[in-house]
A and B are shown apart, each in its own frame.
Chain A
Amino acid sequence: MSKKKISLSEEELVLALRNREKIAIEALYDMYSSSLFGVISRIIIDTPVAEDVLQETFVKIWHSFASYSTEKGRLFTWMVNIARNLAIDKIRSKDFKNQNKNQELENNVTFIDEQRNTVYKPELLGIKDLVQTLKPEQKLILELVYFKGYTHVEAADELGIPLGTIKTRLRMAIQQLRKHFN
């Protein structure tokens, strides 16, 4: 019975979260866990670690909800930034780096494959199609900034492209997405 998904409008959900209603927690998870996990699991390949970060994300959303206001934009934008920051903090943390260095030899093939993101994941199939509608350079910049946790400054460095160009490409990529969704 707990499998029954709860869905509310964004306004209802924000109000319920603000009033600390129990139902808000379930609705929040059911409505956004997949989208947030999509972002987290693209930044962190290791699933158990990504799951930990998803948990941290929800706990943080719940505890710091008072700092969210609808004037600052959509709820999802606020939440996805929390998720992305926690994920990036995790992969940059000392623990995580050490853990990666200590991978056993026999696991290395799959590990490297995962790092290169070449593992077949059926749930990502839809995205691949979508991303095909983007030009390769738009796709790359969106990958780096949205899924790899690069700042646009780091992306410019990495690709050897001027900062202005990065910004323009990013904008074009998102424009493309807007067209696609409309």
Chain B
Amino acid sequence: MEDIKAYIESGILELYVLGDVSHAEKLQVEEMRSKHPAIKAELDEIEHSMELYAAENAVKPNDHLRDRILNSMLTNFGDDNNFPSKTAPLAAAKVVALPAPKVNSFFKYAFAACLALLILSVAALINIYNKLQDANTQLVALNSTNQQFTKTVNFQDQQLHIYRDPSFKVIQLSGTAKHANASMLLAFSPAKKKVIIDMADLKMPENDKAHQYQLWALVGGKPVNLGVFDKSTSDSVDMKEMKSIALAQAFAVTLEPKGGSVNPTMDQMMVIGNF
């Protein structure tokens, strides 16, 4: 109670009523007022007497001023009336509310733009992927054509090389009685000890998986193994080099079990030709 009395007598309440206090002091006085009825009563007294003092000091303004001032206040009255609630909180709420949709719409547009870009990118990607697939297919086709050409050229090169070489003798092997239609061409160079068969000119039935053709050279009446080969459509364009031999009187081909035999199976002889 002593504190409150001292607080009242400090003169701060009078300064508060006169508006001559700092912001901190103002808050302090307002807190004291709400806590202590004595201070509230004292403030009421001071305010009341200052109001009466001002009334005693009143100076009546010129009559023309009344209309002027009321008009200047009413100028905004119509505007104010359009807003049912109080001006200040409404204005504050508006300031807060206005930027919000702006932000929202920005993200909305940004999101839409992103989505559109994404769809466009995916479409472009699919288009480009399709083109790439086409190009790849074409490349594969071109490659295989190219390989075929290379193969053909190689073969023809080989063939040309062999047929031009004077050391090579071309031997025509003719079909036996059992296989009259069979025939093949064989190039033999005793100097270079090379035996080459022309797969392109091979006229024999295709062998099955269990059997292979075997080339034999007859040297002094004895058969010498020169290796096995297959007759198949895919393998037909080639000059196949067989095992080397320097001397031979004749060449023959028999059909043997896969991998070849040590001795020729005479009744399976396909073709034969003398050198």
Contact = CB atoms under 8 A, between A and B. Distances in A.
B107 to A, nearest CB: 33
B81 A20 contact: yes
B49 A177 contact: yes
B11 interface: yes
A181 interface: yes
B85 to A, nearest CB: 9
Interface string B75-118: 01100110000111100000000000000000000000000000
In this complex, which of A64, A77, A121 has the most chain B Cβ atoms within 10 angstroms of its Cβ?
Answer: A77
14 contacts: A22-B77, A33-B61, A35-B57, A37-B60, A38-B54, A41-B59, A51-B61, A66-B87, A73-B43, A73-B47, A76-B47, A77-B47, A81-B19, A170-B15
A171 B11 contact: yes
B18 A146 contact: yes
B69 A55 contact: yes
Given A37-B59, A177-B50, 10 more contacts: A20-B80, A25-B70, A35-B58, A74-B47, A123-B58, A147-B57, A151-B20, A152-B20, A177-B53, A181-B52
Interface of B (DSSP majority class): helix
Given A20-B86, A59-B73, A77-B17, A167 B54 contact: no
Interface in A76-102: 76-77, 80-81, 84-85
Given A64-B88, A146-B18, A178-B49, A37 B34 contact: no
A152 B76 CA distance: 37
Contact of B67 (A2, A36, A37, A62): A2
B18 A54 contact: no
Contacts of A178: 45-46, 49
Interface residues of A, number: 57
Contact of B19 (A22, A74, A85): A85
Interface of B: 9-12, 14-15, 17-20, 30, 34, 43-63, 65-70, 72-74, 76-77, 80-81, 86-89
Nearest to B74: A25
B58 A37 contact: yes
Contacts of A80: 50-51, 54
A143 to B, nearest CB: 11
Listed from nearest, the 7 A-B pairs whose CB atoms lie closest are A66-B88, A167-B11, A34-B58, A81-B19, A38-B57, A171-B11, A35-B54
A74 B34 CA distance: 14
In this complex, which of B49, B54, B59, B81 has the most chain A Cβ atoms within 10 angstroms of its Cβ?
Answer: B59
Given A22-B77, A58-B69, A76 B54 contact: yes
A66 B43 CA distance: 22
A18 B76 CA distance: 15
A139 B235 CA distance: 132
A155 B272 CA distance: 144
Given A22-B74, A26-B70, A55-B65, A39 B57 contact: yes
B65 A51 contact: yes
A109 interface: no
A172 to B, nearest CB: 9
A144 to B, nearest CB: 11
B47 A25 contact: no
A34 B9 CA distance: 31
Nearest to B75: A59
Contacts of B65: 33, 51, 54-55
Interface in A23-73: 25-26, 29, 33-39, 41-42, 51, 54-55, 58-59, 62-67, 71-73
A33 B70 CA distance: 11
Contacts of B12: 167
A174 interface: yes
Contact of B59 (A22, A123, A174): A123
A77 B76 contact: no
A145 interface: yes
A55 B43 contact: no
A126 interface: yes
B86 A18 contact: yes
A127 interface: yes
